[in-house]
Amino acid sequence: MAGDGAQVPGPAPKQRLPPKRSTTISSPLRMAILPKKLRRSPGTPPAYPLKVMTSMRITLLCALAIFLGTSVLAQSGPDLSLSDAIQLGLKNNYQIRLAANDLEVARSNDDYALTGKRPTITLGLSPGVSYRNNTNPASIVSQSSTFSYNVSPNANLNWTLFNGGRVEIAKDQLSTLADLSAGQLQLQVENSIQSIIQAYYNAVVQREQVDVLQRVLDLSRDQIEYQEVRQEFGQGGSFDELQARDAYLTDSTSLVVQETTYRNALRNLLQLMGEEDLSQDFNLTTELTFTPEAYDRQALEDQMQRTNSQLRNLQINRELARINTQLIETEYKPTVSINAGAAYDINIQTGSQTFDFGGDQPTREQELPGVAARTLSGNLGIQANYLLFDGGARNVRTQTAKLQEITAQLNYQSTQQQLSAALQNSLQLYENQVQIVRITEELINNAEQNLTVAEERFRGGRINSFDYRAIQVNYINAQFRLLNALLNLKNTETELLRLTGQIVD
């Protein structure tokens, strides 16, 4: 029997397993089947040291853990494209719904009815009852007891004819506030779309990394079977088999961790989509492809200045500050208004009166007939007011409004500079990431060829298990590097679209 690390070419390996799946993760129950070297009949002492038996237990535990983790992934869920995810997110997102409701409120308020342009007309009705008991011996009517019933309907009109142009300025302010609400809704939509795109492709990448680790795990399992065959023919030792099992356990652990990472990424996507059931499973159908674009720096800069939602909202804020100053300046102008009113008074008296004519003439009591007295009145007038002095409060408000204009302008210029820098940085990063993806694709091709050659040499006994494992690890790292490079490129491209206001398109 050859010793450990013998370089004698081994026999032909056992029949390879069926091809590995590419889109779904197969059940790992077959991993729990122990190789022949670890089987023993009941009552037979262990043929290997405690370390080997511990490896057996770890293998069983890992197999169970991976089964619990991947059995969920193996379930087929409904298809979910990126477009569908965005539509669901825009429909369910609470922040977007709140912003849309704010926009409806602002549009409802954008009306001349709230500016004081139209006259106000009020109608009134003043009914009343009064009682009067009067005794005056010096008067012919020495005593009277009367009830008065009064009804007085009235109408009043007030119309501001001139207030320094405040009506049109106030209407302009309401329209601008509606534009600001629309801009805030647009900004919220863009941010939500960007978050969903990034979360979707992150879940795609995490799923692809699960597939990579599953393929590597299949290779590690094949190596265990190959080492078993070598030992059966006396051409391999337990050391090589232990190394293969160590690699298998390491890959199993990595797969379990990666499946958890994928599940977390999918839950994050569902949360951004506004789904209540975060345990849903979806088949993500939109692939992460490499389609680099040749962007023109100046064209992107011009596009950003025209359509960036953040800049447009700051422009609206700057306009609102200017309008606020105009509103305060109208306080320096007089106000002219017209007032008109009309009233119709109806008064009915009932009761009795006692007449005393003096001397020997007897007193006479007479009942009032209850005749209605009617009075019609009206008024019309013009009123002019001018605030002559208010202790300087008006000047303070004007100065504050002008300072707020300066603040709004500075905020716009500062954000404009920051966005220009962010655009240039993102464009430079995008161009660098395109080169990184191309280099990494070459690295993948090299790693795949290297892995194929290494497998042949390992089975031929020309390299040891350490070298073969190192090449496997390089292959894993190269695959992960490419996936992460593609994800970073997509995230940067999404940021460029958001900065230039094109992400909604």
Same domain for 352 and 236: no
Same domain, 248 and 277: yes
- Give yes or no: residues 200 and 299 share one domain: yes
Residues 96 and 224 placed together within one structural domain of the fold: yes
Contacts 24+ apart (CB under 8 A), 223-232: 223/247, 223/248, 223/465, 223/468, 224/35, 224/248, 225/13, 225/14, 225/35, 226/10, 226/13, 226/14, 226/459, 228/35, 228/36, 228/37, 229/10, 229/11, 229/13, 229/14, 230/10, 230/11, 231/37, 232/36
Percent of the chain topping pLDDT 90: 60
Question: What digits encode the pLDDT tens for the residues 68-108?
Answer: 344 445 545 799 999 999 999 999 999 999 999 999 999 99
Contacts 24+ apart (CB under 8 A), 420-425: 420/301, 420/304, 422/495, 422/499, 423/300, 423/301, 423/304, 423/496, 423/499, 423/500, 424/297
309 with 352, same domain: the answer is no
In a domain, 302, yes or no: yes
pLDDT confidence band for 43 (50 / 70 / 90): very low
User: Is 396 part of a structural domain of the chain?
Assistant: no
Is residue 202 located within the same domain as residue 150? no
Same domain, 294 and 241: yes
Phi, psi dihedrals of residue 473, rounded to the nearest 5°: -65, -40
* Rounded Cα distance, 198 and 296, in Å: 24
Q: What b/e sequence results for 109-129 when a residue is b if at least 16 CB atoms lie within 10 Å of its CB, and e otherwise?
A: ebeeeebbbeeeeeeeeeeee
Same domain (yes/no): 214, 277: yes
- Reported as a pLDDT band with limits 50, 70 and 90, residue 59 is very low
d(CA 375, CA 343): 8
- pLDDT of residue 330 exceeding 90, the answer is yes
Per-residue pLDDT, averaged over 356-379, amounts to 80
Q: Is residue 26 part of a domain?
A: no
Q: What is the pLDDT of residues 347-357, one digit of tens each?
A: 988 887 777 77
- One-letter amino acid identity for 417? Q
> Model's pTM, two decimal places?
0.76
- 2 against 143, higher pLDDT: 143
Same domain (yes/no): 247, 348: no
- The domain of 438 spans 31-38+48-103+176-318+402-499
In a domain, residue 278? The reply is yes
Same domain for 359 and 222, yes or no, is no
Query: Of the segments 54-68, 128-142, 230-244, 386-400, which one has the largest average pLDDT value?
Result: 386-400
CATH code of residue 191? 1.20.1600.10
In a domain, 16, yes or no: no
Task: Give residue for tokens 């609470």.
Answer: 94
Over residues 158-167, the mean pLDDT reads 94
For residue 140, the model assigns a pLDDT of 72
The CA distance from 2 to 310, in Å, is: 73
User: Both 199 and 224 in a single domain?
Assistant: yes
Same domain, 294 and 200: yes
